């Protein structure tokens, strides 16, 4: 029976780092996409559904990508009957809270793509949270 214990212990040892990693990376990102830009346009927007699956509040403080010159967290807002954008320095996600990045609201503003992105392409953007958690996400380019 001794070998069984050994296997079991090894399994636990092997799983431990995975469990820790899951807890650390417990911010899930679904439906991540970037709208394809019309020709000649170098400002794009990225959208997604973020969910904090950890037991602590998570604060999104930045996003970065080698695919773009600049990535900023923006929000489309209404102001005196007009719509515009404002830079959002940070967004706090409470435990289990979901946050929608969608047209007309929060979005990742993507400036000057390094290469022209076409529908079907994928581009990676890293979401950075306070405390050092970085979640890399592949965004699908859609028309």
For other proteins, the closer of residues 1 and 78 by Cβ is 78
Could you tell me the smallest distance in angstroms from the CB atom of residue 117 to other proteins?
13
120 makes contact with other proteins (CB under 8 A) = no
Alpha carbons 117 and 53: distance in angstroms, whole number: 31
Among 39, 55, 115, 132, binds other proteins (CB under 8 A): 39
Alpha carbons 85 and 82: distance in angstroms, whole number: 10
136 makes contact with other proteins (CB under 8 A) = no
Q: How many residues does the chain have?
A: 143
For other proteins, the closer of residues 13 and 41 by Cβ is 41
Alpha carbons 101 and 77: distance in angstroms, whole number: 13
DSSP 5: H
110 makes contact with other proteins (CB under 8 A) = yes
Cα separations in angstroms, 31 against 6, 28, 50, 120, 133? 41, 10, 9, 14, 20
41 makes contact with other proteins (CB under 8 A) = yes
141 makes contact with other proteins (CB under 8 A) = no
Binding site for other proteins (CB under 8 A): 35, 37-45, 74, 76, 78-85, 103-104, 107, 109-111
């Amino acid at each position: 029976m001794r070998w069984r214990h050994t296997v079991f212990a090894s399994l636990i040892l092997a799983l431990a780092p995975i469990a820790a990693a899951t807890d650390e990376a417990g911010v899930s990102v679904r439906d991540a996409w970037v709208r394809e830009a019309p020709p000649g346009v170098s400002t794009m927007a990225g959208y997604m559904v973020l969910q904090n699956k950890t037991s602590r509040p998570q604060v999104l403080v930045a996003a970065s990508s080698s695919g773009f010159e600049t990535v900023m967290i923006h929000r489309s807002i209404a102001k005196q009957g007009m719509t515009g954008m404002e830079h959002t320095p940070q967004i706090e996600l409470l435990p289990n809270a979901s946050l929608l990045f969608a047209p007309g609201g929060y979005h990742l503003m993507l400036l000057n793509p390094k290469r022209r992105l076409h529908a079907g392409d994928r581009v990676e953007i890293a979401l950075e949270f306070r405390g050092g958690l970085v979640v890399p996400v592949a965004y699908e380019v859609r028309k």
